[in-house]
Amino acid sequence: MKKNAKEAIVKAAILLFNSKGYSGTSVRDIASLAKVNIAGIAYHFENKAGLLEYCFTHFFEQYIQKMEEAYFSIDKGARVCLKQVASDLLQFQCENIHLTSFVYREMSVDSQVVREVMSTYSLKEKYYFQKIFERGFEWNEFRPHSIPYLITQFKALLMMPFLNTHYMREVLYVFPNEAFFVQKYLKDIYFWIDQTLCSEIPIKKGAVIK
Amino acid sequence: MKKNAKEAIVKAAILLFNSKGYSGTSVRDIASLAKVNIAGIAYHFENKAGLLEYCFTHFFEQYIQKMEEAYFSIDKGARVCLKQVASDLLQFQCENIHLTSFVYREMSVDSQVVREVMSTYSLKEKYYFQKIFERGFEWNEFRPHSIPYLITQFKALLMMPFLNTHYMREVLYVFPNEAFFVQKYLKDIYFWIDQTLCSEIPIKKGAVIK
């Protein structure tokens, strides 16, 4: 019974934080949507800030776990591994679209909890990206390039649809919560990996194409 | 004198909206930072919502103007034109980094003002993108692909550094407000245009490379 109340609170908080923003949501709103009393929220999370921290941890613990699991495929090569990361993270974001949208938006605000998230989870994420890119350079799979700029582009492609869900739906008529979207968009990310990241073998002048 | 007060209010509002979030900022905070009294804000903008609307309009009027101007280069080809758009918009975002960060974050919240912005400026932006991509397909400059998915990727690359300025600075040590960043990152966007968007001319078997 208690576990159900906790889940209901988290679910309501994610929905409201996402649609009305963190600051625009009151504990009263969450209690009302979750059909619990305010004391129930205080019991499980202390206050609104506690709920926010729970949402961040809940999101990034799973995110980093996906990343770690995908990293196991590094022995198949950096290209295969990065595609696995793209596939698993895109799927995860799609399955948790409200939480993802809200967490990504809130990550752009300068706050104590965001600093803590960056100093733990973002650094871990960067560590894995670095390992994959360095392996890719070393084995001549990827053309040499600045790792921070590559991370920026890869994360841009991964995050954009979830940071702008209203824009995607209302303007582009693309629905990032649908499985069809994941399939189609993943191909685009794979194409980015293949075309801009993977090193081409330069064709020598005078060579005859076989 | 009055114009200076108005500018000071806007500047203070942008800084505070960006660092503390729109809901986390009070009219009192803005008045205090801008060194004006609250009546001054009421005189120019009515209330906080009026200030928010002003910020959005201020941003998107300039944004669409840049887009329109860059579109004039369409006669030089779709590839040249899209690179001009990338260059002008990246420069504009870099010069207005606080406003850009805040507007992009706030665009992810579902609100009346956001819906109005989308139904005017985002549709205009989409119109120009559509014209450029269609021209690119028609003249065989770009490989055929879904326009909404291309817009998603192009906008992802353009927006990401400004939506995540803390992450860029604290984790990747990349500083999106510097001219150096614009130069370097623009090359990456150009590379995306050249490698993933532009259609390759297939090399015929038996041909000799000159």
- Across the interface, of B152, B195, B206, the residue whose CB is closest to A208 is B206
- Please name the amino acid found at residue B2: K
Q: Which domains does chain A have, with CATH numbers?
A: 1-46 (1.10.10.60), 53-197 (1.10.357.10)
For tokens 């805040």, what's the residue?
B102
User: Could you tell me the pLDDT band of residue B203, with boundaries at 50, 70 and 90?
Assistant: very low
3-state secondary structure of B176: coil
| Section B129-153 average pLDDT | 96
| Section B143-161 average pLDDT | 96
**What global pTM score does this model have?**
0.90
- Across the interface, of A20, A149, A205, the residue whose CB is closest to B188 is A149
Whole-angstrom Cα distance, residue B145 to residue B133? Answer: 9
Phi, psi dihedrals of residue B105, rounded to the nearest 5°: -65, -45
> pLDDT (tens digit, 9 = 90+) per residue, B14-39?
999 888 888 888 999 999 999 999 99
What pLDDT shows up at residue A62? 97
- B115: which chain A residues are within 8 Å (Cβ-Cβ)? 166, 170
- B127: which chain A residues are within 8 Å (Cβ-Cβ)? none
Query: How many residues in total does chain A contain?
Result: 210
Whole-angstrom Cα distance, residue A10 to residue A51? Answer: 7
Query: What residues 187-206 of chain B have any CB closer than 8 A to a CB of chain A?
Result: 188, 191-192, 195-196, 203-206
- B19: which chain A residues are within 8 Å (Cβ-Cβ)? 109-110
> pLDDT (tens digit, 9 = 90+) per residue, A50-93?
999 999 999 999 999 999 999 999 999 999 999 999 999 999 99
Note whether B160 contacts A155, CB cutoff 8 Å.
Answer: yes
Structure tokens at A118: 């960056």
Among the ranges given (B65-69, B108-112, B168-172), the one the predictor scored with the smallest mean pLDDT: B108-112
B183 has a chain A CB within 8 A of its CB: no
Note whether A122 contacts B168, CB cutoff 8 Å.
Answer: no
- B163: which chain A residues are within 8 Å (Cβ-Cβ)? 104, 108, 159, 163
- Our CA-based measurement puts residue A46 at a distance from the nearest CA of chain B, in whole angstroms, of 20
Find, in chain B, the residue whose alpha carbon is nearest to that of A192.
B196
Burial class (CB in 10 A: 0-12, 13-18, 19+), A34: buried
A37 has a chain B CB within 8 A of its CB: no
User: What secondary structure letter does DSSP report for B178?
Assistant: S
- Our CA-based measurement puts residue B108 at a distance from the nearest CA of chain A, in whole angstroms, of 5
Q: Give the DSSP H/E element, type plus range, for residue B18.
A: helix B2-20
A165 has a chain B CB within 8 A of its CB: yes
Among the ranges given (A123-127, A205-209, B44-48, B178-182), the one the predictor scored with the smallest mean pLDDT: A205-209
What pLDDT shows up at residue B208? 53
> pLDDT (tens digit, 9 = 90+) per residue, B32-84?
999 999 998 999 999 999 999 999 999 999 999 999 999 999 999 999 999 99
What pLDDT shows up at residue B24? 82
- Point out which residues pair with A142 in neighbouring strands: A198
Find, in chain A, the residue whose alpha carbon is nearest to that of B190.
A196
| Section B156-182 average pLDDT | 93
Which residue, among B127, B128, B166, would best test binding to A if mutated, counting the most A CBs under 10 Å from its CB? B166
